Structure 1
Amino acid sequence: MNADPFRKLAELTEEALITCKAELSMLPDGNLICWHDKNGRPHYYQAYCDLDGTYRRKGIGKKPAVLQAMARKGYLEAAQDILEGNLAAITQAQAAYVPCDTEHINARLGKAFAGLPTDQLENTQVALVFLGINEDLQRRLVQHEQWAREPYERSQRYPENLTLRASNGTMMRSKSELLIAERLARFQVPYRYEQVIMVGGCEMAPDFTFQDRNGDEFYLEFCGMMDDPGYVEGFKSRRQIYENAGICAWNRMIYLFATGNEIDLEDIDEVIQKKIMPRL
Structure 2
Amino acid sequence: MSYHAFVVEDSEVHATLAELLLQEAGFEVTIWRSIRQAWHWFEHDQTKQPMLGLLDIKLPDPTLPRLESTVLAAAISDAVAQGRHAPVHLVAISSELTPQREWAALATGCSAVLSKPLTPLKAQWLAELITQPMPTLSDEISAVAFRQGQLDVLNLLELQQRPPRRVWQIEDVRNLLAVLTAGFHVGEQGREAGLNLQHEFGGSTAAHVALRACLPVLESEQARLLGLLLHGVAQQTIAGRLGLGRRKLEGQIEQLLQQLAILLSQG
Global fold match (TM > 0.5): no
Give me the TM-score of the superposition, normalised by structure 1.
Answer: 0.26
**Structure in which a larger fraction of residues adopt helix:** 2
Q: Which has the higher contact order (CA 8 A, sep 6+)?
A: 2
**Structure in which a larger fraction of residues adopt strand:** 1
